[in-house]
Amino acid sequence: MKIFWGILVFSIGAVWQTCGGGLWRTSMAGPSSKFVSTSSLSKIGRSPAQKALNQSQYAQARIQKISMENFGLIQIQPKPKRLFIHMRYADSTNFLHQPVYPNSCGCFVHPYALKLLDKALDILEKEYPDLGLLIWDCARPLSVQKQLWEKAEIPRTEKWKYLSHPERGSVHNFGLALDLTLADTSGRPLDMGTDFDHFGPEAQPVMEDILWKNGVLSEHVLNNRRLLRRIMRRAGFFPIPHEWWHFNAMSRRTASEKFSLIP
Ligand SMILES: [Zn+2]
C-alpha distance from residue 108 to each of 65, 210, 253 (Å): 9, 36, 21
Query: What is the distance in A from the centroid of ligand 1 to the CA of 97?
Result: 17
Rounded distance from Cα 70 to ligand 1 centre (Å): 22
* pLDDT for the residue 245: 98
Q: What is the distance between the alpha carbons of residues 150 and 182, in angstroms, rounded to a whole number?
A: 30
What is the third-level CATH fold of 74-258? Muramoyl-pentapeptide Carboxypeptidase; domain 2 (3.30.1380)
Asked if 239 and 205 touch (Cβ cutoff 8 Å), the reply is: yes
CA 194 to chain centre: 18
Residue 246: in which H helix or E strand, if any? strand 246-248
So what's the pLDDT on residue 190? 98
> Residue 246: what pLDDT?
98
Q: Are 27 and 12 in contact (CB under 8 A)?
A: yes
Please tell me the distance from the alpha carbon of residue 257 to that of residue 14, in angstroms, as a whole number: 29
Domain limits of the chain? 2-70, 74-258
Report CA(118)–ligand 1 centroid distance (Å). 18
> What is the spatial distance between Cα 205 and Cα 243, in angstroms, rounded to a whole number?
7
Residue 241 CA to residue 118 CA, distance in Å, equals 24
Per-residue model confidence (pLDDT) at position 134: 98
pLDDT recorded at residue 253: 94
Distance from Cα 125 to the centre of ligand 1, integer Å: 24
**Alpha helix locations (H) across 107-182?**
111-127, 142-151, 156-162
Q: How far is the CA of 72 from the centre of ligand 1 (A)?
A: 20
pTM (2 d.p.):
0.77
d(CA 185, CA 166): 36
pLDDT at 51: 58
CA of 66 to the centre of ligand 1 (A): 23
CA within 13 Å, CB half, 51: 9
Kindly give the distance from the C-alpha atom of residue 46 to the centroid of ligand 1, in angstroms, as a whole number.
42
Residue 22 alpha carbon to ligand 1 centre in Å: 23
In the structure, ligand 1 is a single-atom ion and the residues with CB under 5 Å from it are 179, 246
pLDDT digits (tens), the chain, 263 positions:
444 434 333 333 333 333 433 222 222 222 222 222 223 323 334 555 555 545 555 555 666 666 788 889 999 999 999 999 999 999 999 999 999 887 778 999 999 999 999 999 999 999 999 999 999 999 999 988 988 988 878 877 787 788 888 888 899 999 999 999 999 999 999 999 999 999 999 999 999 999 999 999 999 999 999 999 999 999 999 999 999 999 999 999 999 999 989 98
